[in-house]
Amino acid sequence: ISNGNGVDGMAKRLGNYLTQKGFKVTRLRNARSFNHETTKIFYYNGYAQDVSRLLMEIPVECDEKNLIQLKQTVKHIKILIGKDIIPYDSEISISM
C-alpha cells in the first residue's frame, strides 16, 4: 500500500483495516507524490478474484481506468491511495 494523498498514517490505517478483513498486507510506504486524486489498484496475472474481493472492502469506487493489470507473474496486488479515500478515513480508523 502506497500513500499518495499526503494524509499522515493513511497507508497504515488502510493496511490495518484490510488485515482485519483477511488480507495479508506486506508493505506500507509513501508514494513519490502526494497529489494522486484517485485510488488505483495494480494487480498481476491471476489476482483478478482477489481484486474483486478487495473492491468489496475498500470504501472507494474504482472503475476500469483505476484497475491496472500488469503482465508479470509476481504474487502481488498494489494499492496507490488517492485523495478520493480521505472522506472515508474515519470509517477505516473505526475498524482498528
The residue among 62, 64, 12, 3 whose CA lies nearest residue 35 is 3
Cβ neighbours of residue 5 closer than 8 Å, sequence gap 6 or more: 34, 36, 81, 82, 83, 85, 86
pLDDT digits (tens, 9 = 90+) for 51-70: 889 888 888 877 666 666 66
CA 24, 53, 39, 17 torsion: positive or negative?
Answer: negative
Confidence of residue 86 (pLDDT cuts 50, 70, 90): very high
pTM: 0.84
